[in-house]
Structure 1
């Protein structure tokens, strides 16, 4: 329904400013009804397993979406030894299983760029960690330690506005 806009949204996330200009963010588009349904079913499973009701709420909210853009933080370390991750050196961050704070920040900047453009284009959206968690658990999104899904919807009423827990 809005394929040209999807390309613009993906491009704005890809080209968002990143620390050192490094390619540390994954952008993935899903428009397959089958994959979207699998993701929503996984969100119900996660909700039941964890007792976090927002997974179920988000799955119910997304029943009529046609597209999700995922933004994920790759397992990438900038090696600046900046300490923002809580460790003095990047090697200590890696050895302790932590993740680069700059990569996480880059993911957030890409998300902000994406949802702002979607808003300008009149496409309703939300940033949902629940979609990202489900897609990672299903193996649909790979090679990231964290991902967020941005469901997109165009219709007479914003389905993301008055969600209930």
Structure 2
């Protein structure tokens, strides 16, 4: 008898989640969403870097989140590779669609400016992605800390990246965590 055979399905679940993100509605049908499943080696590299970043007073939660990365069966990355504004001139980014790409790029943990409509596309894709995990009973949590670390490590070509660790355990490891 195999122990914990449900954990063998995690890669399939992750792939199904990525399909949902890919097929989520996007403004004007333009898809600037990038996705990936982190390898075990990348997962450990992310956790180690998160521990280093977590030494900063403002980023203590990165260290806590690093343990969630290690304890997760898989980690998904999803990001926005912004190359073209939506063309609606909404102004939410602080510019118009004709000038946003001409602005100086600011790089902190994320890069900008970016089109707000494209960022909304990312949010919709994330909602679609995590809904698959929920329907399949896989615990998950959308984490800024994982994405910012993946960006720092150059794991994905995107201005904004978020990480979603996946867990199949008797208790959800992403809640009831120690406050930082």
TM-score normalised by L of structure 2? 0.84
Aligned length: 162
| Matching of residue 129 in structure 1 with residue 144 in structure 2 | yes
Cα distance in 2 for residues equivalent to 1:152 and 1:146: 20
Cα shift at 1:72: 0.2
Could you say which residue in structure 1 is the equivalent of 2:155?
140
Could you say which residue in structure 1 is the equivalent of 2:117?
102
Cα distance in 2 for residues equivalent to 1:92 and 1:50: 36
3-state DSSP of counterpart to 1:58: helix
| Matching of residue 40 in structure 1 with residue 55 in structure 2 | no
Cα shift at 1:140: 1.1
Cα distance in 1 for residues equivalent to 2:68 and 2:115: 32
Q: Which consecutive residues of structure 1, in runs of 5 or more, have no partner in the other structure? A: none
| Matching of residue 114 in structure 1 with residue 129 in structure 2 | yes
| Matching of residue 62 in structure 1 with residue 62 in structure 2 | no
Cα shift at 1:100: 0.4
TM-score normalised by L of structure 1? 0.91
Answer whether contact 1:55 1:130 (CA < 8 A) is retained: yes
Q: Which consecutive residues of structure 2, in runs of 5 or more, have no partner in the other structure? A: 1-7, 106-112
Could you say which residue in structure 2 is the equivalent of 1:17?
25
Cα shift at 1:122: 0.5
Cα shift at 1:153: 0.6
